[in-house]
Amino acid sequence: MKTIQHKFVEFIPNYLEQNVLYISIEYKTAVHLCICGCGNKVVTPLTPTDWELRFDGKTISLSPSIGNWNFECRSHYFITRNVIHIARRWEDWEIEEGRVEDKETKKNYYKKQKKKKRKD
């Protein structure tokens, strides 16, 4: 079982340690090195349409899963209570479908926010 530690920071450091998730609440971002060991920096924005961070006082969870589709490794995994759960690799069509869905989710969310703002 592979685990990841977490560090709450204001600024993401220039040098990242493997198996550490750096979390900046101020900048609504979590960053870590890809868990496959390829050395790529993985940035997960913490927004209503990107990733959600849960902290239970001891461990962290990020959802949804992390799919590094733009990296050569194409790793895919979940971080749940500091434990890394490797997920299956997605096919190209699944990645494309996921991107379309993400784009639509963002569009709808911000459309609702705009309408809500007009009512206020």
Token pair listed for 90 = 């997605």
**What's the pTM?**
0.90
The alpha carbon torsion through 48, 56, 20, 91 (nearest 10 deg) reads -50
64: preceding bond cis by omega (within 30 degrees): yes
Q: Give the residue from 23, 28, 25, 70 showing the smallest Cα distance to 45.
A: 28
Alpha-carbon Rg of the chain, whole angstroms? 16
Give me the percent of the chain exceeding a pLDDT of 70: 98
**Higher-pLDDT residue of 120, 25:** 25
pLDDT, one tens digit per residue, over 71-113 is: 999 999 999 999 999 999 999 999 999 999 999 999 988 888 8
**pLDDT confidence of residue 120:** 66
**pLDDT confidence of residue 50:** 95
**pLDDT confidence of residue 115:** 73
Q: Give the residue from 104, 42, 27, 30 showing the smallest Cα distance to 75.
A: 42
So where are the chain's domains? Answer: 2-89, 91-120
Band of residue 114 on the pLDDT scale cut at 50, 70, 90: confident
